Amino acid sequence: MPAYPVQQQRSVVQEPSAAGTPGRAAVSAWLGSAMEYYDFFAYGTAAALIFPKIFFPSTDPTTATIASLATYGVAYLARPVGSLFLGHLGDRFGRKKVLIFTLFLMGLSTLLIGCLPTYGSVGIFAPVLLVLLRLMQGLSAAGEQAGANTMSLEHAPAHRRSFVTSFTLSGTQAGLIFATLVFIPLSWLPESDLLGWAWRLPFFLSILIFPVAMWIRNSLDETPAFKAQQRAKKFAAFPVVTLFMEYPGSVFRVVLAALISVVSTIFALYSLSYAVNTVKIEKTTMLTVVVLANVIALAAIPLWAMLADRIGRKPVFIFGAICCAILIWPYLWAIGEKDIPLIFGTGLLLSGIIYSASNGIWPALYGEQFDTRVRLSGSAIGTQIGFMLAGFAPALASALLRPGPEGWTPVALFTSVVAVVAALAAVTARETYKVPLDELGHKGPSSVVQRSAM
């Protein structure tokens, strides 16, 4: 007898979302993701600029930098494991439970990072504790985006699914902006103050938004699709088993497409470390590039998402991935040449506008490859395995860097290859922008979504 109930029909009758619920789901996704990824990227900025000097021996700065960036990547080892647990929890017991748990875990782990002793105080125990808390952040992030994306997707009007789910990624960008902005005034402090006490402030600040984010998430209703599935007993008792039995190709496709996130970590973390530590460009200059790029992305992401609701997910995603593969070359060249105007021009175009094309619509593209029984598991597991490489990309790029003015070329080649692989994975995906929610993940002909006023 199978370990999960056999689905006898394609869909169940779904109750409509209450008035205003899609908007509240979008706000919840935005606010929760902003907090989660403020915490996540605050760690990344500190790992590039500060942690090599306070959590590792100072005898070899290059090794300390690689080790520090590797601790950023450690969280991505926990993310596939966390996605198995949180995917099961969300598909079996509800999306809302996942979102509350991830918010709590990220807030706690980030606060504790700000309390850690340094290498000078406790020696090797400092990086060990840092890695353990980074693993907790990774477990939280494993379910955050997939949970928020699924909640938004299942609350969204049929013809605006890409737009509504894009708020999760807008929140992610906002979190990155807030994290980087906090470090700009800190970079003006004397290094003794920065390394002594000031580096802790960004990790303490995240607690301010926690009560608001938790209140909004706790007040949000479970999705109509999930509640209808539970009433009809169409759920999978073991969603992960169902996922790999019925959707192995879709999971693999999402893994490869999710490699596009390498562009983000190379831009936000590796290029920051390379520019400041190797090329000797001012920290404030590079942090400003990151902030401005993400401010532009806040506007670009919903615009790309609206386009994807009109012409489809695939052409928008593929366009963004291919253009990223091209633009990474002039961006890294500009850093190597210390050409500040060109750094700003290529950086804002690459990360602010072009990367947003892929980044803004993947929540809909990935989530729509699966049906309600396994949607959160499929999105979480597929993305977290792909994101794992992105997490280690800054450390790998640091190891690929060669001496001399053209030493950045292996990094550019690596980034380009990964972006092209992501584009090819999207080429093989099913186009879903006209497929009704209760037919997503099913093979064969589908009825067309009718556009109506929201």
Domain annotation covers residue 379: yes
Whole-prediction pTM? 0.83
The burial class, CB within 10 Å (0-12 / 13-18 / 19+), for 249 is exposed
363 has a pLDDT exceeding 80 = yes
Q: What is the pLDDT of residue 2?
A: 38
Q: What is the pLDDT of residue 107?
A: 87
Domain annotation covers residue 452: no
Lowest mean pLDDT among 30-44, 103-117, 150-164: 30-44
Domain annotation covers residue 352: yes
The burial class, CB within 10 Å (0-12 / 13-18 / 19+), for 230 is middle
pLDDT band at 319 (very low <50, low <70, confident <90, very high): very high
In the chain, the number of structural domains is 1
Cα–Cα distance for residue pair 248/398, rounded to 1 Å = 33
308 has a pLDDT exceeding 60 = yes
Q: What is the pLDDT of residue 11?
A: 44
Q: What is the pLDDT of residue 246?
A: 94
For the residues 100-125, what does the mean pLDDT come to?
A: 90
Q: What is the pLDDT of residue 444?
A: 53
366 has a pLDDT exceeding 90 = yes
- CB-based contacts of 294, cutoff 8 Å, min separation 6: 173, 174, 176, 177, 180, 351, 352
Cα–Cα distance for residue pair 236/309, rounded to 1 Å = 30
Q: What is the pLDDT of residue 19?
A: 45
344 has a pLDDT exceeding 90 = yes
Within 13 Å and on the Cβ side, how many CA atoms surround 196?
Answer: 5
Cβ contact 236:4 at 8 Å:
yes
What does the pLDDT look like over 113-131, one tens digit per residue?
Answer: 999 999 888 888 999 999 9
What does the pLDDT look like over 176-194, one tens digit per residue?
Answer: 888 878 888 887 888 888 8
454 has a pLDDT exceeding 50 = no
Domain annotation covers residue 1: no
Lowest mean pLDDT among 149-158, 195-204, 228-237: 228-237
Give the mean pLDDT of the chain.
86
Residues of the domain holding 296 = 21-222+236-439
What does the pLDDT look like over 381-429, one tens digit per residue?
Answer: 999 898 888 878 888 888 887 877 678 899 999 999 999 999 999 999 9
Provide, rounded to the nearest whole percent, the portion of the chain with pLDDT above 70: 93
**Residue written as tokens 């109930």?**
5
pLDDT band at 443 (very low <50, low <70, confident <90, very high): low
Domain annotation covers residue 4: no
Cα–Cα distance for residue pair 369/247, rounded to 1 Å = 9
For the residues 19-42, what does the mean pLDDT come to?
A: 78
What does the pLDDT look like over 79-92, one tens digit per residue?
Answer: 888 899 999 999 99
pLDDT band at 57 (very low <50, low <70, confident <90, very high): confident
Provide, rounded to the nearest whole percent, the portion of the chain with pLDDT above 90: 44
Domain annotation covers residue 29: yes
Cβ contact 145:168 at 8 Å:
yes
For the residues 25-49, what does the mean pLDDT come to?
A: 82
**Residue written as tokens 């200059």?**
285
62 has a pLDDT exceeding 60 = yes
pLDDT band at 10 (very low <50, low <70, confident <90, very high): very low
Q: What is the pLDDT of residue 381?
A: 94
448 has a pLDDT exceeding 80 = no
Lowest mean pLDDT among 24-28, 149-153, 287-291, 336-340: 24-28
Two tokens at 318? 């593929």
HEC sequence for the chain = CCCCCCCCCCCCCCCCCCCCHHHHHHHHHHHHHHHHHHHHHHHHHHHHHCHHHHCCCCCCHHHHHHHHHHHHHHHHHHHHHHHHHHHHHHHHHCHHHHHHHHHHHHHHHHHHHCCCCCHHHHCCHHHHHHHHHHHHHHHHHHHHHHHHHHHHHHHCCHHHHHHHHHHHHHHHHHHHHHHHHHHHHHHCCCHHHHHHCHHHHHHHHHHHCHHHHHHHHHHCCCCHHHHHHHHCCCCCCCHHHHHHHHCHHHHHHHHHHHHHHHHHHHHHHHHHHHHHHHHCCCHHHHHHHHHHHHHHHHHHHHHHHHHHHHHCHHHHHHHHHHHHHHHHHHHHHHHHCCCHHHHHHHHHHHHHHHHHHHHHHHHHHHHCCCCCCCHHHHHHHHHHHHHHHHHHHHHHHHHHCCCCCCCCHHHHHHHHHHHHHHHHHHHCCCCCCCCCHHHCCCCCCCCCCCCCCC
Q: What is the pLDDT of residue 216?
A: 81
Looking up residue 367, the CATH number of its domain turns out to be: 1.20.1250.20
Residues in the chain: 454
Within 13 Å and on the Cβ side, how many CA atoms surround 41?
Answer: 31
**Residue written as tokens 């490489």?**
389
pLDDT band at 449 (very low <50, low <70, confident <90, very high): low
